[in-house]
A = this chain, B = another copy of it.
Amino acid sequence: LSRLIRDRAGSTDAMLAAFGDEALLRAALRFEAGLARAQAEAGLIAAEDAEAIAAACVDLPDIEDLADAAAHAGTLAIPLVTLLRERLAANSPRAAALLHKGATSQDLADTALMLQARTGAALIRAETERLVSALTALTRAHAATPMLGRTLLQGALPITFGLKTAGWLQGVAGALARFEAETVAIQLQLGGATGSLAGLDGKAIEVAERLAAILGLPAPVTPWHARREGLAGLASALAILTGAVGKIAGDIALLAQNEVAEAFEPRVAGRGGSSAMAHKRNPTGCQTALTAAIRAPHLAATIVSALPQQHERGLGGWQAEGAVLADLFQLAHGALAAMAPVIEGLEVDTARMAANLAAAGVGTDTGESQTLVARALASLEKDR
């Protein structure tokens, strides 16, 4: 039933795993185990019950069965809690009753999603920094390489190639900074049935803080079941980052046209070929990034559209976010991972750049391109 082939083409194994079924279940089990332990630490339940619960959360359940049951129930929490209670029933009936105490389905769903997002954010950060490094090196190497600047898809005046790549670099670096700022949304969710922290005997805030520490997620000021601005910001930041990468891909694809021929993706055995034309060298990395850049804005808009969620926990809105956020992380990482090696190995034909510039007959004064390149690099250096 999976869609491995299509997903794999637009993402990476690491990010697909981060948002895969096993990671989701592991995160859900960590939530239940951590919740019990946090309650034990707060003196709400006995330590041995917490450990019994934690022990029941070790083995991964059968994914297909659980997928069916979750679809039937309308939420993953119900069949998962049922299954864990069955595991506990024989030897720890008291622990079985205490499992999931004070939590609601959305607490589990949101926290599990945030644990996946934290993994995803680390992957995004690392791959973006790789791309930033490659772009910095490329910019330094070509700070003074003259080429034709192009506006409205027409030859304009001379620039340096480094000025173009400095723009790519600033775009990606700026998008990364926004993304980093938006990762503040990656927080624990624990509010109980109606987000009022009922059912935890007045110790809910202590439990939340202990659980947050156990899971390594920040504790929110208050539950955020129906307050999804943070996720919308995170989703938007991923789409913008993907767009910044797509800008690079679009430019390289234009530069790689036969008639322009100024820059090319590196040759990689078995990549970029054509099933019909042996002479072709398709810009496959650019293709992956452009596909992501086409899809990502609409995924982010989905989450922004879902913001007006009803009352304390809404119907339909937050349930839409998980799959969409997963797609966004996967596409963004796929785009980054496609373009980082393209920049690292970009083949630049400076002679052709010079020839195209000469052919345009617009002189060779590259203005203050080098000054601008230096300013861009210095500014980014300072922001580190």
Q: Which of A88-96, A122-130, A210-218, A360-368 contacts B (4 or more CB under 8 A)?
A: A360-368
Those of A63-115 within 8 Å (CB) of chain B = 63-64, 66-78, 81, 100, 103-105, 108
Contact residues in B for A175 (Cβ distance below 8 Å): 229
Inter-subunit contact B271/A159 (CB<8 Å): no
| A193–B274 alpha-carbon span in the complex (Å) | 9
Complex Cα spacing A356 to B324, Å: 36
A307-B368 in contact (CB<8A)? no
A152 engages B194 (CB within 8 Å): no
Complex Cα gap A253–B222 (Å) = 24
Q: How far is the CB of A352 from chain B (nearest CB, A)?
A: 10
With known contacts A70-B8, A240-B304, A367–B294 Cβ distance under 8 A: no
Stretch at the interface among A35-43, A47-55, A310-318, A343-351: A310-318
**Set of chain B residues within 8 Å of A108, measured between Cβ atoms:** 275
Asked if A74 meets B284 with Cβ closer than 8 Å, knowing A105-B276, A275-B108, A307-B247, the reply is yes
Contact residues on A (Cβ < 8 Å of other chain), bracket:
35 or more
Q: A residues 241-295 with Cβ under 8 Å of B? A: 243-244, 246-247, 249-251, 253-254, 256-260, 270-277, 279-284, 286-291, 293-295
Q: A346 to B224, alpha carbons, bound, how many Å?
A: 24
Pairs of residues from A and B, 4 with the lowest C-beta to C-beta distance, nearest first: A290-B316, A243-B307, A2-B2, A198-B367
**Given contact pairs A150-B312, A164-B311, a sample of 8 additional A-B residue pairs in the complex whose CB atoms are under 8 Å apart:** A74-B288, A81-B275, A105-B276, A229-B244, A232-B239, A243-B308, A249-B308, A279-B362
